[in-house]
Structure 1
């Protein structure tokens, strides 16, 4: 195994398996053929043909679109066709800065292949040879990546919340990090990818942060989403990402980005350029 294997895990996408999903004249996602056929059963909401899936033009506003699609999703949920329901509205948009055209239940986002956003925080202690990183092991009850390794804090970006406010909220819920300490986190960039997963097509942008933590810091999970925390020497983090798939697929990218920025994956690494390219799929 190698770092590049983690990159490959996040760029498995065959466009021939999907149809564009459009709201008005704007393509906002990609729907697998099987799910597109299922949506034919709801012609008042979706117009489906071999070329794509379009929201019915009569649904002309944000609220009407959101309500109509929500009714369809609730129907599919009741039949057991949508799993991992979160009751979290995600924006449907073409970019993070663009105004959303509607919102969509988080569990359905991969089914429609729309863009999703998240915040990930690297919690570190020490520096240089003494550098350590806090690692979270995800709860076995998580709908995605149960039992996988994760950043100290990570969470999806719901509609109507700023990145900074969401980070503070996730820090409190996932690791009992105070608001004052969370606000010291440094935004350091983003990674992105398009990849097929069991839940559907993931087209995600992860906004990443670094937070230097005091030696006596001890995380404490409050939302039931973390099984345990571990403070690992950076060498163990490197070996685990490079040699195993123990990290959740996208969390491995966040670690690789960190290692490159800290010079722990050096420019003379044989896959250096390809790793950089792969972090922005």
Structure 2
């Protein structure tokens, strides 16, 4: 994956990162946050109020407040992609409010990039990449079909004895095919050399580039071989036409 992009991705074990994160907390916060994380591993909804009530008495020397001391840590864990979700309040009896955390995702592993990424721009580049790949595919297919199409067209003229037209048409389509191939090659090279911010086109389109270069390099030889073959067919037709003309003249003289 890293070869295809200008940034480097690193897979991170969030469990190890979480343990590192805990080391920066006070002992009271550490125990409460650890319990929250453990419960989120098996439950999608947990009671923050119950967890706080259970553990705050264990550390009398550390005066903690759920909303002022624990909520900011939870928000920080969310912003650092340990999990996703939100804190919700629910009225209990006698105007008392209980707080819950509703989990959306718990991230056991995450990918970290070595630089900030504009996701909107990245999606735009992926869309552009798809367009370029489709263009290369269509142009490569067009190149592969060039020789069979020329052969079929010229032989169809020879089949109906349009020898002179076939000869002139062959000159034109051979020249036109080479010019079009050069034009397509320039377009593809322009596409390959586009500078994108996040995607490495040369690496991502390596297979397509290789296939195009192969088809493009083989076209000249293929057209030369096709020209030789069709010129022989044209000469055969011209010879047959000449012999047919001679026979017609002989028939005319005999009957005269």
Q: Using structure 2 for the length normalisation, give the TM-score.
A: 0.26
Give the structure with the larger helix fraction: 2
Q: Using structure 1 for the length normalisation, give the TM-score.
A: 0.25
Structure of higher CA gyration radius: 2
